[in-house]
Amino acid sequence: MELTTLCTVLATLRVLPNKSQFFKYTSVSFSCEGNSSEWKVKRNTSKSTNEDCPNSPDRKTPYHFVIGDLYTSDTGVYWCESEAGRCSNSVNITVTGGSVILESPSVPVMEGESVTLICRNQTSTLSADFYKDGRLISSSSSGNITIHRVSKSDEGLYKCNISDGGQSPDSWLAVRAAVHQESPAPPLVLVLLPVFGVCLALGSLMLLGLWRNHKGEDEADVDYTNVTVTQEGLPIRIRDADTASTYSTVRT
């Protein structure tokens, strides 16, 4: 059974215990979580459509609804709604008079999370076979299986079977896409600071290059001229040793 509504989803319907299948005569509670106290729990069942669920025992919180003894006629779709036309997610609840149920989350599972499915009879968990979309996917001696890192491919119709114990009703496992939050844009100052630093460095290099070129031009402008050094006084004459030699005759 499905719910088709045209409303703005602003609340969340919580089911306690968090499962979609219940044995007959067990209990369940529903509560609306949102920004308003005007929420009411509503349902569609085989007996009624768009029915307002009775108030909780204290009759002060219409957004809280408890069923102390479930009957198969309580099987249906439950949701929260306000007079302003706002609503919540919808939850499918199945009440069985059989001997086996499959305990699975009543609300969609987030991608990447883990989920455990439990096959249970009236008193305990026993060895069970698990099926997805009619195909056997696992056999467990403990009566439960865990799906790690759930993805959209795990979404489907599940049920379990206990040998000589019976089979559970079908239960739809919904998977919700993970919300990837984008990183906030960095402040403008963090963007401009590196740019300013690069510009400052380039400007410094340009100034250094201009200074070096100017210095080189100044050194190249020096004029070189012939310098004559004169010395006052008489010039010093140096007689050649060879020409100044005196020869004499040696007498014997």
pLDDT per residue, tens digit, the chain (252 aa), is 555 556 777 888 999 999 999 999 999 999 988 776 678 899 999 999 999 887 655 545 667 889 999 999 999 999 999 888 888 999 999 999 999 999 999 999 999 999 999 999 988 888 999 999 999 999 999 999 999 999 999 999 999 999 888 999 999 999 998 876 665 666 666 666 777 777 777 777 777 777 677 666 555 555 555 555 555 555 555 455 454 444 444 444
Architecture of domain 98-178: Sandwich (2.60)
Per-residue pLDDT, 229 = 52
Per-residue pLDDT, 246 = 46
- The two structure tokens encoding residue 172: 């739809």
Per-residue pLDDT, 183 = 57
Looking at domain 1-97, what is its CATH homologous superfamily? Answer: Immunoglobulins (2.60.40.10)
Helix (H) or strand (E) holding 205: helix 188-220
pLDDT digits (tens, 9 = 90+) for 106-130: 999 999 999 999 999 988 888 999 9
Per-residue pLDDT, 219 = 55
Per-residue pLDDT, 178 = 84
- The two structure tokens encoding residue 186: 């960095």
Per-residue pLDDT, 252 = 45
Report how far residue 93's alpha carbon sits from residue 229's, in angstroms, rounded to the nearest whole number: 121
Per-residue pLDDT, 9 = 75
Per-residue pLDDT, 131 = 98
Question: 224 CB contacts (<8 Å, ≥6 apart)?
Answer: none
3-class secondary-structure state, position 77 = strand
Q: Where in the chain is the domain with CATH 2.60.40.10?
A: 1-97, 98-178
Cα torsion through 75, 76, 82, 87, rounded to 10: 130
Per-residue pLDDT, 53 = 86
Report how far residue 90's alpha carbon sits from residue 93's, in angstroms, rounded to the nearest whole number: 10
Q: Which of 116, 108, 201, 190 is nearest to 155 (CA)?
A: 108
